[in-house]
C-alpha cells in the first residue's frame, strides 16, 4: 500500500523545534526580502492572515496580536526535510520525496486487506521524537488515494488522530461524498470548473466518472487519476503541471545597487535560476528579456530592459547567463541606483522540437555537464555549483532576511549551547 506523510505547517514547525517561545504563538514565515507571508501557524490563520499577504498591510494586526515574524531559513528547512525522511526510511524500503514537506512511502497491507494504521502511528511518533515535527499520514492502495486520505486527515485531525486509511471501500465512499473535487490531488479550481457542467462536484462524483470521459475532459493523466481513485494503481502516476509558456525570475534587492559588477552577477543568477526552472520540464527558451529599474517612488529613477533571440533555443545556464550578463552591462549607467532586476524566458517549447540552427554545433559533453550540475545542486542545495559569472561568496545585497533564525543544524558557530 501507499502512505504519504506531510508535516503540519512545515516552515513554522521547523522554527518552533529550536525556539519553544514560538509555540502557541501566531507565527508567519516570510518570503524572500521579507515581503509577504508564505507559511502561517494555525494561530495566525485564525487571525485571517492569508497566504501571500503583504507584510506592510499587516502591520497593525502584527502589533495588535503579537504576531511573530521569521525570515525564510531554507538551510534549516532542507536539513529538517533530510532528517524526517531518514526516519521514514527506518520503516520503509521504498521512499519517494514528493516535496519539501511531503513524502510517499510503502508499507505492507495487512492480512485483512486494510492499511497498517498502527505502523503509521508509530512513524508519526518516531518523527516527532527524533525531529520534533508534527505530522499527518494518509494510507491507500494507490498514490492518489493516499493523497486524498492525507488531505482528509489534515481537515479532521482531531477526529482521526492524524491518520486515515482509505483501503476500506465503505469508508472511502462515505468520505468521498463530503470531499470537494477541487481538493483532489491534481484537480484544482480551474479543472474543477470544467468538471462542474458534468455534475462532478465531489471526489465521489469524480471517481464515478467513466475513464474515457475523464480523458476527454482532461488528459490521460485525468483518466489515470479516476482509476487510482477507484483503487487501481497506475505505474508511476503523478499529476503533471501544465507546461510553462514562459517563466520569469525577478527579485528586489535587499539594498539599492549602484555597482555594475553587483548588478551583472545578480542578473546572471536570475537567468541561471530561470534556466533551471525550464530544464525541470525539459523545455528550451527561444527568447530572453532582462530588465533593471530603480525605485518607482523616486523621480528620474532608471528603468531599462533588453531582449534577444536565443538561437538555437536553449536551457543551458552558461548561454542564458552570459546573455543576461551582457544585457545588464548594456543597461547599467554610472550614477544610477537600481532596486530590482529580473529576467523572463519566452518562446518555450520541448527540447528538440523547435527549429534548429544550421551554424550551431553543440558540444556533446554539454548535456552531461548540465545534468551533473543539476544532480549536485539537488543533493547539496541550490547554487552549490553554478557558473562563475553568477559571483561567489556572500550576497547580502541580493536577498533581505533580517529576521532569519540561526542555522541551528547546519553551521557549527550557530549551534545553541547548553549552559
> What's 54's DSSP letter?
B
In the block, cell 547546519 appears at: 410
Residue 151: which of 15, 217, 140 has the closest Cα? 140
> What's 133's DSSP letter?
-
pLDDT score at 159: 84
pLDDT score at 401: 75
Q: Cell triple for residue 393? A: 561568496
What 3-state class would DSSP assign to 351? coil
Measure CA 344 to chain center.
Answer: 19
pLDDT score at 355: 66
pLDDT score at 133: 97
Residue 391: which of 261, 265, 271 has the closest Cα? 265
Residue 267: which of 376, 397, 377, 379 has the closest Cα? 397
Residue 319: which of 310, 308, 306, 330 has the closest Cα? 310
Q: What is the CATH number of domain 247-390?
A: 3.30.1490.100
pTM summary value: 0.78
Q: Cell triple for residue 346? A: 519566452
What 3-state class would DSSP assign to 81? helix
Residue ranges for the chain with pLDDT beneath 50: none
Adjacency order of strands within the sheet including 27-30: 37-40, 27-30, 68-71
How open is the CA angle 306-309-314, to the nearest 5 degrees?
Answer: 120
What 3-state class would DSSP assign to 313? strand
Please count the residues of the chain.
Answer: 419
Amino acid at each position: 500500500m501507499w502512505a504519504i506523510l506531510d508535516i503540519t505547517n512545515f516552515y513554522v514547525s521547523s522554527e518552533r523545534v529550536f525556539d519553544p517561545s514560538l509555540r502557541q504563538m501566531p507565527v508567519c514565515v516570510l518570503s524572500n526580502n521579507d515581503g509577504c507571508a508564505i507559511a502561517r501557524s494555525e494561530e495566525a490563520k485564525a487571525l485571517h492572515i492569508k497566504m501571500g499577504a503583504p507584510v506592510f498591510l499587516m502591520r497593525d494586526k502584527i502589533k495588535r496580536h503579537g504576531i511573530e515574524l521569521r525570515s525564510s531559513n531554507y538551510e534549516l528547512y532542507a536539513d529538517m526535510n533530510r532528517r524526517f525522511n531518514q526516519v521514514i526510511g527506518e520503516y520503509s524500503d521504498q521512499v519517494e520525496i514528493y516535496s519539501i514537506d511531503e513524502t510517499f512511502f510503502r508499507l505492507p497491507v495487512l492480512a485483512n486487506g486494510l492499511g497498517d494504521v498502527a505502523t503509521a502511528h508509530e512513524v508519526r511518533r518516531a518523527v516527532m521524537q527524533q525531529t520534533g515535527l508534527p505530522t499527518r499520514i494518509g494510507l491507500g492502495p494507490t498514490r492518489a488515494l493516499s493523497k486524498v486520505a492525507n488531505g482528509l486527515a489534515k481537515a479532521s485531525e482531531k477526529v482521526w488522530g492524524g491518520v486515515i486509511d482509505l483501503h476500506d471501500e465503505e469508508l472511502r465512499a462515505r468520505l468521498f461524498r463530503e470531499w470537494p473535487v477541487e481538493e483532489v490531488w491534481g484537480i484544482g479550481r480551474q479543472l474543477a470548473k470544467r468538471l462542474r457542467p458534468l455534475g462532478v462536484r465531489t471526489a465521489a462524483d469524480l471517481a464515478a466518472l467513466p475513464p474515457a470521459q475523464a480523458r476527454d475532459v482532461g488528459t490521460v493523466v485525468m483518466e489515470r487519476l479516476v482509476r487510482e481513485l477507484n483503487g487501481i494503481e497506475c505505474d508511476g502516476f503523478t499529476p503533471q503541471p501544465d507546461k510553462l509558456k514562459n517563466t520569469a525570475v525577478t527579485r528586489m534587492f535587499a539594498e539599492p545597487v549602484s555597482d555594475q559588477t553587483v548588478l551583472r552577477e545578480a542578473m546572471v543568477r536570475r537567468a541561471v535560476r530561470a534556466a533551471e526552472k525550464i530544464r525541470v520540464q525539459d523545455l528550451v527558451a527561444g527568447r530572453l528579456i532582462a530588465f533593471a529599474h530603480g525605485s518607482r517612488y523616486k523621480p528620474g529613477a532608471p528603468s531599462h530592459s533588453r531582449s534577444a533571440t536565443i538561437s538555437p533555443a536553449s536551457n543551458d545556464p552558461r548561454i542564458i547567463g552570459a546573455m543576461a550578463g551582457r544585457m545588464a552591462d548594456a543597461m547599467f549607467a554610472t550614477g544610477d541606483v537600481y532596486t530590482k532586476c529580473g529576467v523572463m524566458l519566452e518562446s518555450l517549447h520541448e527540447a528538440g522540437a523547435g527549429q534548429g540552427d544550421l551554424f550551431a554545433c553543440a558540444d556533446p559533453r554539454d548535456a552531461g555537464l548540465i545534468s551533473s550540475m543539476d544532480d549536485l545542486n539537488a543533493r547539496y542545495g541550490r547554487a552549490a555549483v553554478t557558473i562563475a559569472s553568477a559571483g561567489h561568496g556572500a550576497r547580502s545585497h541580493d536577498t533581505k532576511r533580517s529576521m532569519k533564525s540561526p542555522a541551528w543544524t547546519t553551521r557549527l558557530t550557530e549551534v545553541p549551547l547548553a549552559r
